């Protein structure tokens, strides 16, 4: 791993670090009261049916609440993983897999094992167990992926569609999260005479 890290140019590392800090800036995580519109003077959730209005609202909400949506997706994945992994079928499968690893490591403790007259080195036995474990985990956890992505996508789209956060403005394409002040007629450049 250190060889791979050393091969990456420093400029790339700096760029990735700056992008990470910009995207995951904790100031862009909106408080729960803003996310749900608690205490706002106008109705915070409403139904919009005009395609142009829906597109505009969804775009604004995704730009404004993107970090909240990432956190929501992580929470849904964790809850889905816990419910799948504590099921009896999953626990039994993981137990059988752990016992199989123990048996293979014990049998190859001297460097190799003989199975049906064929000598199998520890390296090949470990590689075979890794492949088997990968396949078992894929089939065991595939429901987590589909249920997690489906559920979080539904929640994000529903929130982005119905949440009216138009009173929160994005200033200079930065996600500021301030409440828009009403404009006076003299503040609008094209209205000046």
Say if 29 falls within a structural domain: no
Is residue 16 assigned to a domain? no
Tokens 């992008």 belong to 19
Q: Output the pLDDT for position 5.
A: 76
| In a domain? residue 98 | yes
In a domain, 133, yes or no: yes
- Per the DSSP assignment, residues forming a β-bridge with 119 are 114
| Within-domain flag for 73 | yes
- Phi, psi angle pair for 176, to nearest 5°: -85, -40
- Full-model pTM: 0.64
Residue 154 pLDDT: 95
**Integer Cα distance of 81 and 144 in angstroms:** 6
Mean pLDDT in residue range 12-23:
86
Domain count, the chain: 1
Only one residue has tokens 């390296």, namely 123
Buried-state track 8-33, b at ≥16 Cβ within 10 A, e below 16: eeeeeeeeeeeeeeeeeeeebbbeee
139's enclosing H/E stretch is helix 122-162
Would 63 be classed as within a structural domain? yes
Structural domain of 93: 51-167
Average pLDDT over residues 38-43: 83
Q: Tell me the pLDDT tens digit for each residue of 55-67.
A: 999 999 998 999 9
Residue closest to 107 by CA, chosen among 126, 127, 80: 126
Query: Residue 160: pLDDT above 60?
Result: yes
pLDDT digits (tens, 9 = 90+) for 73-127: 999 988 888 887 788 888 898 899 999 999 988 888 888 788 788 888 888 888 9
């Amino acid at each position: 791993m250190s060889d791979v890290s050393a091969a990456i140019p420093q400029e790339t590392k700096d760029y990735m670090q700056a992008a990470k800090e910009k995207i995951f800036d904790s100031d862009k995580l909106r408080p729960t009261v803003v996310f749900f519109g608690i205490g706002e003077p106008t109705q915070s959730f409403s139904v919009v049916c005009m395609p142009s209005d829906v597109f505009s609202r969804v775009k604004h909400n995704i730009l404004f609440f993107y970090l909240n949506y990432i956190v929501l997706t992580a929470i849904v994945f964790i809850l889905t993983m816990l419910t799948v992994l504590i099921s009896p079928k999953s626990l039994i499968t993981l137990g059988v897999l752990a016992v199989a690893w123990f048996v293979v490591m014990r049998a190859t403790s001297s460097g190799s094992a003989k199975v049906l007259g064929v000598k199998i080195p520890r390296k090949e036995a470990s590689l075979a167990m890794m492949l088997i474990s990968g396949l078992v985990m894929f089939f065991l956890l595939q429901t987590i992926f589909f249920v997690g992505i489906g559920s979080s996508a539904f929640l994000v789209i529903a929130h982005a569609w119905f949440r009216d956060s138009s009173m929160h403005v994005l200033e200079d394409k930065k996600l500021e999260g301030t409440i828009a002040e009403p404009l006076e007629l003299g503040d609008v450049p094209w209205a000046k005479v």
